[in-house]
Each structure stands twice: as C-alpha cells, then as structure tokens.
C-alpha cells in the first residue's frame, strides 16, 4: 500500500481549517493526510517536528515580521507551497516570489477549495518544487507572447486596446522609471519634465524589485504590473515591455 502524503495547512481562521480538513478527507483521504496549524510559529514547529510533503498557507507573518512562506522555504528548500490567501496578487507577489511558491489560489474564488485539493494532489508526491504557472496567474498581457510584441512593435492589441510603446533592457538601459518617462514622452508628446512624476502613482523602487531579473540560480517569473498614470493605464512586464491604453471614462454624477 502506498503511504499517504502529508499536507500541512496553516491559517489563522479555525473555521477554514476545519472546512479544509473535512474537504480533504472527503475528496482525497486515500491519498492525502491533512495536518493543520493556526499560526506561523505553529506552522514552523510542525515543519520541524514531522515530515510534510506539501504546504498550504495563508499570508501569515512571524513575530519578527518575516513572511511565513519565506521562512518555510528557508527551512524546507524543496517543499511545494500552495499559497492560498484572500489577498490579491499585487499585494503578496514579492513574498510569493521570494518563497518560490508552486501555486497561488485566491480565497473566495469559485471552486477555490477544490482547486487547492487538485493542485495539492499533483504536488504532494513530487520531489522538487515546480515553478509557478504564469498562464494561471497572469492573464490579459499586452500581447500573447513576447514574439508577438516584437513582430508587431509598436503594436496595438485589439482585444485590450493596449499599445506597446517601448522596451526596457535590464542590462543596458538606465533606471526603469527613466525608460518609462522617455517612452511616454515620445508617445504622448508631453515633456517628461512637465508631466506628473511617476513616483506619484506608485513606488518605483518596489516596481524595480518586483520586475528586475532575479539571480541566475532562481526561477524567472513573467510578471505584469498595471497602474494608472494621469489619463492612461500603464503596463510594465518583467520582459521589459511597456504598454499603454486610455483609462476608461467614468460617467459624471
């Protein structure tokens, strides 16, 4: 008989842990054994005290403010992590990428528990952590592929009305903010010195940290960040592509 894989679910909501344990028992009791922890410290204690094949975790932090999933990755370099949280990707992306999570599933989405169970089934018996599936995390990219952007540059995506207006070369160009300002000046005809500063729309240091290439020994993630800037919505990807489209008009009250 093949032994069941052990899944640790860490969450500070006792009702959710109870629902999770029940759902796993009903759907996969012959394959998976669920153990739970109600906070980050208890989660680390469990990882230290017993063998765990897959981790499911909410966005929790240790008393020293270290993200739990990052501490778990440091302790267990190869364990698959399913990041199951109500927080949006834009608020947890840095933690998730640092922890090299195997999957991000949003709480409250339709079929969320079923999606967690299905993904854990796939991951629990694997011997190494798979990389995140970018197609499942990031949709609505300015172009379907980098090749499409190159072939049609500068181009407009008919479905989303995105126009690719520039490319930032991480190895050659100056700061990302400088590239964005330059291509926006060329696109709009508005002098960058007279336009609203980019840092009034978002933290440019955080944007750099999220998008810039990671160390060669860590996985490369394809990420897109969108933000409003004056009358436009800008999209910047880790591929370096900078795209723009008009912000939707709002009806006057």
Q: Where are the beta strands (DSSP E) in 30-153?
A: 32-37, 54-57, 81-85, 103-106
As a whole number of angstroms, the distance between CA 251 and CA 253 comes to: 6
* β partners of residue 45: none
**Phi and psi of 76, rounded to 5°?**
-125, 85
Q: Residue 148, Cα to own-chain centre: how many angstroms? A: 23
As a whole number of angstroms, the distance between CA 253 and CA 249 comes to: 12
Between strands 81-85 and 54-57, the pairing is: parallel
Cβ 44 vs Cβ 36: under 8 Å: no
Cβ 12 vs Cβ 38: under 8 Å: yes
Other C-beta atoms closer than 10 Å to the C-beta of 246 total 10
- What pLDDT score was predicted for residue 176? 87
Other C-beta atoms closer than 10 Å to the C-beta of 121 total 17
Q: Which residues contact 201 (CB under 8 A, 6 or more apart)?
A: 227, 228, 229
- What pLDDT score was predicted for residue 144? 38
- What pLDDT score was predicted for residue 2? 59
Residue 146, Ramachandran bin (φ over 0: left; ψ between -120 and 50: alpha; else beta): alpha
Cβ 224 vs Cβ 237: under 8 Å: yes
As a whole number of angstroms, the distance between CA 132 and CA 9 comes to: 19
User: What is the sign of the dihedral through the CA atoms of 9, 14, 20 and 22?
Assistant: positive
**Is residue 85 packed enough to be buried (19+ CB in 10 Å), middle (13-18) or exposed (0-12)?**
buried
36: which 2 tokens? 């739970």
Q: What is the pLDDT along the chain (253 residues), one digit of tens a residue?
A: 457 889 999 999 999 999 999 999 898 888 889 999 999 999 999 999 999 999 999 999 999 999 999 999 999 988 999 999 999 888 888 888 888 888 899 998 888 999 999 989 888 876 433 344 433 333 333 333 333 333 333 333 434 567 888 888 888 878 888 888 888 888 888 887 887 887 776 777 777 777 777 655 444 455 777 778 888 888 888 778 888 888 776 444 4
- What pLDDT score was predicted for residue 217? 44
- What pLDDT score was predicted for residue 57? 96
- What pLDDT score was predicted for residue 58? 96
- What pLDDT score was predicted for residue 150? 33
Q: Where are the domain boundaries for CATH 3.40.50.2300 in the chain?
A: 5-136
Determine the topology of domain 5-136 in CATH: Rossmann fold (3.40.50)
């Amino acid at each position: 008989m093949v032994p069941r894989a052990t899944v640790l679910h860490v969450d500070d909501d006792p009702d959710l842990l109870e629902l999770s344990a029940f759902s796993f028992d009903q759907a996969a009791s012959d394959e998976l054994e669920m153990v739970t922890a109600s906070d980050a410290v208890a989660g680390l204690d469990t990882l230290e005290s017993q063998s765990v094949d897959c981790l499911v975790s909410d966005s929790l932090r240790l008393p020293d403010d270290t993200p739990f999933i990052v501490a778990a990755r440091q302790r267990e370099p190869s364990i698959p992590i399913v990041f199951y949280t109500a927080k949006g990707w834009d608020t947890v992306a840095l933690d998730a990428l640092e922890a090299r999570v195997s999957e991000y599933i949003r709480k409250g989405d339709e079929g969320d528990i079923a999606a967690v169970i299905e993904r854990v089934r796939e991951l629990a018996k694997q011997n190494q952590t798979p990389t995140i599936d970018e197609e499942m995390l990031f949709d609505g990219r300015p172009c379907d592929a980098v090749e499409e952007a190159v072939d049609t540059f500068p181009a407009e995506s008919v479905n989303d009305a995105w126009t690719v207006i520039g490319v930032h070369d991480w190895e050659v160009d100056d700061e990302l903010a400088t590239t964005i300002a330059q291509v926006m000046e060329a696109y709009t005809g508005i002098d960058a010195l007279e336009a609203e500063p980019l840092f009034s729309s978002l933290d440019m240091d955080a944007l750099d940290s999220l998008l810039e290439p990671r160390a060669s020994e860590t996985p490369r993630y394809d990420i897109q960040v969108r933000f409003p800037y004056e009358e436009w919505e800008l999209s910047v990807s880790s591929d370096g592509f900078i795209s723009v489209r008009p912000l939707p008009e709002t009806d006057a009250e």
